[in-house]
Amino acid sequence: MRIAILIHHAYGIGGTIRTTLNSAQALSGRHDVEVVSVFRHRDRTVFDPGPGVRLRHLVDLRPDSPDHDHPDHQRPSRHYPRADGHYTRYSALTDARIEEYLRTCDADVIVGTRPGLNTLLALRAPRGPVLVGQEHLTLACHSRRLRLTLRDAYPRLDALTTVTETDAADYRSRMRLPGVRVEAVPNGVPEPAVAPADPGAKWVVAAGRLAPAKRYDLLLRAFARVVAERPDWRLRIYGAGPQRDRLRDCIDSLGLYNHAFLMGAAHPIESEWCKGSIAASTSSLEAFGMTIVEAMRCGLPVVATRCPHGPAEIIKDGVDGRLVTMNDVGAIAEGLLELIDDDDLRRRMGAAARDNARRYDPALVAERYTDLFTELASRRGRGARLGTARTTAHRARGALLSTAFTARDGLRRARAATRSKGSAA
């Protein structure tokens, strides 16, 4: 199969980029894989997808590129949905380049990797290829406006993949997607190139963007309680982000400057996991929980908050890690101390974490994608190029239904407005 994966940009360090390039590499063993980065702003990718993956870009934003000052890039996009958070980065130039790419693309399967790109695929891809939208965030975290956009567009996809079962169930129950396969396919995390972590190391390690949703403030407060009992243990938090100064202040005010350290961004992160013996994830929201799987693959048991959506689908509580109550400093501290105080438990859970995280190997994830793509292609007839009549029918029906739902929503809104006016009066 020829598989094309359309991504906002492939040159950074984020979770979507990481997992997309991992999957692309794994798929390239048996398929012809092209990763299409809408933007390029660096010479090289941080992650190397390997020689089997073709990487191309549509708009080159490096300073000496003619695209950099292209007048069309100053004009707003007319195709990219406004409700997607990246709308302002798209332009008339990206419209034209994406349109041209889709027109000339000869892939059997085209995969989108964020709501705006999935929408473009659904609404603007020519007939022929199987269209798959990937949801790397969750339906629940999208704005109402974006949900309405997706409701119009997604019925025209052949499949929508989410990274958790919970989110797949959400899409099935909250959005009418007739004829669209909705399936959970987790992110792939490769086997680390370093030896498993040593359970004897007295380091707790966390990694992720220093963003409010990661709740590193809670982790620091919990760690202050840990240090009160076990001053021989220390904490490292890897990552960069807007919360850095705030977390610095938090460390200072808790008097944790001998015990908790902001390490900055690190790549590859497995080199840092392997120095710890416990990992911590205290987010209030994790669409998946890539760092949890990464830590487990290095043999670290993870103490994670039971937040929506990923952690509870990754960690088997009490077996290969600990799930603790969200937003609860005491529960996080208790979870950490339970593992800190019990060397044998740490060792056992670390070994179980390593075994259980093997299910996220990119080879297995790629197999699930291959099965899905193959099935979708054959559903059209004997090959991806055939059966366009049926596809058209499926998409037309989807479009009609989604319009009907939009109309119904409008009606509901109107009714609700009437009701609230009535009660106010």
Partner 1 sequence: MTLSLTTDDDTGREPGRSADPGSPPAPHADCVSDEAGDITFTVAVPPAGGRWETLLLQRRGGDTAADSVHLPLTESPGGGSLTGTLPLALRLAEGRWDAHVTRGESQRIRLRPGVNDLRTLADDAGRARRTEGAVCLPYTTKYGNLSVRTWLRWPHAEAGRIHLRDHTGTVEALLLGAELTDAACLEARARALDAPALTVPVTREGPHVTARLDLADLAGRQPAERDRTEWELWLRPDGAGGRADAVRLARILDDVPDKRAVYRYPAVRVARNRTAAFAYTGAGDLSVEVHGLGERRHG
- 335, two tokens: 């979870």
- 253, two tokens: 């005010």
Give the C-alpha distances (Å, rounded to integers) separating 158 from 88, 184, 241, 373. Answer: 28, 14, 36, 9
- What's the CA gap between 166 and 182, in Å, rounded? 12
Single out the residue of 123, 124, 213, 261 in contact with partner 1 (rule: CB under 8 A): 261
Closest to partner 1 by CB, 225 vs 244, is 244
**Nearest partner of 133 among 1, 309, 7, judged by Cα:** 7
- 280, two tokens: 């911590």
Closest to partner 1 by CB, 61 vs 319, is 61
Single out the residue of 53, 175, 210, 262 in contact with partner 1 (rule: CB under 8 A): 262
Mask of contacts with partner 1, 234-253, x by CB under 8 A? --------------x---xx
C-alpha neighbours within 13 Å on the C-beta side of residue 200 = 0
Residue linked to tokens 């008097």? 255
Mask of contacts with partner 1, 265-284, x by CB under 8 A? --xx-xx--xx---------
61 is an interface residue for partner 1 by CB under 8 A:
no
H-only helix segments in 285-387: 290-297, 311-314, 329-340, 343-356, 362-379
Write down the least CB distance from residue 358 to partner 1, Å. 19
Write down the least CB distance from residue 248 to partner 1, Å. 7
Quote the distance between the C-alpha of residue 274 and its chain's center. Answer: 23
Write down the least CB distance from residue 284 to partner 1, Å. 26
Write down the least CB distance from residue 231 to partner 1, Å. 9
100 is an interface residue for partner 1 by CB under 8 A:
no
Closest to partner 1 by CB, 168 vs 250, is 250
Closest to partner 1 by CB, 203 vs 360, is 203
Closest to partner 1 by CB, 80 vs 238, is 238
375 is an interface residue for partner 1 by CB under 8 A:
no
195 is an interface residue for partner 1 by CB under 8 A:
yes
Closest to partner 1 by CB, 222 vs 274, is 274
Write down the least CB distance from residue 259 to partner 1, Å. 9
Q: ∠ CA 265-266-268 to the nearest 5 degrees?
A: 145
H-only helix segments in 28-143: 92-104, 115-124
Q: Which stretch binds partner 1 (CB under 8 A): 123-131, 193-201, 213-221, 382-390?
A: 193-201
Write down the least CB distance from residue 203 to partner 1, Å. 7
Contact status, residue 106 vs residue 124, Cβ threshold 8 Å: no
The answer to whether the Cα torsion of 401, 403, 408, 412 is positive or negative is positive
48 is an interface residue for partner 1 by CB under 8 A:
yes
- 404, two tokens: 């009907």
Single out the residue of 257, 358, 407, 417 in contact with partner 1 (rule: CB under 8 A): 257
By CB under 8 A, the residues from 196 to 235 that bind partner 1 are 197-198, 201, 203
Closest to partner 1 by CB, 261 vs 405, is 261
44 is an interface residue for partner 1 by CB under 8 A:
yes
144 is an interface residue for partner 1 by CB under 8 A:
no
- What's the CA gap between 77 and 89, in Å, rounded? 9
- Residue 90, C-beta contacts closer than 8 angstroms, at least 6 positions apart: 38, 77, 79, 80, 116
- Residue 121, C-beta contacts closer than 8 angstroms, at least 6 positions apart: 6, 102, 110, 112, 131, 133, 157
Q: Which stretch binds partner 1 (CB under 8 A): 30-38, 77-85, 194-202, 381-389?
A: 194-202
Write down the least CB distance from residue 258 to partner 1, Å. 4
Residue linked to tokens 């979770």? 15
Write down the least CB distance from residue 12 to partner 1, Å. 13
Size of the site for partner 1 (CB under 8 A): 27
- What's the CA gap between 335 and 317, in Å, rounded? 11
Q: Which stretch binds partner 1 (CB under 8 A): 189-197, 283-291, 361-369, 406-414?
A: 189-197
Closest to partner 1 by CB, 29 vs 255, is 255
- What's the CA gap between 313 and 207, in Å, rounded? 19
H-only helix segments in 11-112: 15-27, 92-104
- What's the CA gap between 120 and 61, in Å, rounded? 21
The residue ranges that bind partner 1 (CB under 8 A) are 43-44, 48, 192-195, 197-198, 201, 203, 248, 252-253, 255, 257-258, 261-264, 267-268, 270-271, 274-275
